[in-house]
Amino acid sequence: MTEFLAPVSGDDRFALLVVSVVMFTSVLIPIASVGFVQWRKVRERETAAGLIHDMLARGCSTEEIERVLQSAQMDVGSVESSFDQKRAPFSCRS
């Protein structure tokens, strides 16, 4: 490796190092972003599956499960407004 860089001056080595770091970073950031997004989607699906399993164990109907899953996909404003109304916690009808 030193024979390869021997004819290169110190300033050129620094420039080569900077270019290498920039290229490595520009490749690493998108790969990490895709990985984190996919990991988040897996965790969301695991959470939804656990919620469905618990609700089925409690004896909830499919309509109640669909309603809860749809309400979990609300935007922040509608979530805050539902807290302002002080609704009773969700419970399945037996």
Q: For the chain (length 94 residues), average pLDDT per consecutive 10? A: 70 88 97 96 89 90 87 54 49 62
Domain count, the chain: 1
pTM of the model: 0.56
Supply the angle between the helices 10-58 and 62-71 in degrees, to the nearest 10.
150
Instruction: Give the 3-state DSSP-derived string for 36-85, with helices as H, strands as E and coil as C.
Output: HHHHHHHHHHHHHHHHHHHHHHHCCCHHHHHHHHHHCCCCHHHHHHHHHC
Examine residue 89 and state whether it is found in any structural domain, yes or no. Answer: no
Is 48 a member of any domain? yes
In a domain, 92, yes or no: no
* 48 in Cβ contact with 70 (< 8 Å): no
| pLDDT on residue 19 | 95
CA distances from 23 to 14, 19, 20 (A): 14, 6, 5
Q: For the chain, what is the radius of gyration of the CA atoms?
A: 26
- Return the structure tokens found at 31: 């790969």
Q: What is residue 8's predicted lDDT score, i.e. its pLDDT?
A: 74
Question: According to the model, what pLDDT value does residue 11 have?
Answer: 81
Amino acid, single-letter form, for residue 21: V
Task: Tell me if 4 is assigned to some domain.
Answer: no
Q: Residue 41 sits in which domain range?
A: 28-56
